[in-house]
Amino acid sequence: MLKLIALPFQVLRLFFRLSGVKGGLLFGLGVVVGLLVAPQTGPELRARLQSRLPGSGITPSDEDLGL
């Protein structure tokens, strides 16, 4: 059970070992930028993307978009 919990940390440690400091910093920078740029939550994004699909005929309400 403990090995299963530690698996993500072992994978991350292996990634940093293989990619070096530069790769680790780029990975961390990507995560930070992704969190800062994310404009909306998952359900809001899915509703907006579905409304933009051609022929879907679905228009999200203000409640779906959080407005």
**Structural domain range at position 41:** 2-65
pLDDT value for 15: 79
How many domains, the chain?
1
Q: Ramachandran region of residue 34, left (φ > 0), alpha (ψ -120 to 50) or beta?
A: alpha
**Rounded to the nearest 5°, which phi and psi values hold at 40?**
-155, 170
Per-residue pLDDT tens over the stretch 33-59: 888 777 778 888 788 878 877 765 555
Virtual torsion, Cα 41, 46, 52, 56, nearest 10 deg: -160
- Return the pLDDT at 48: 80
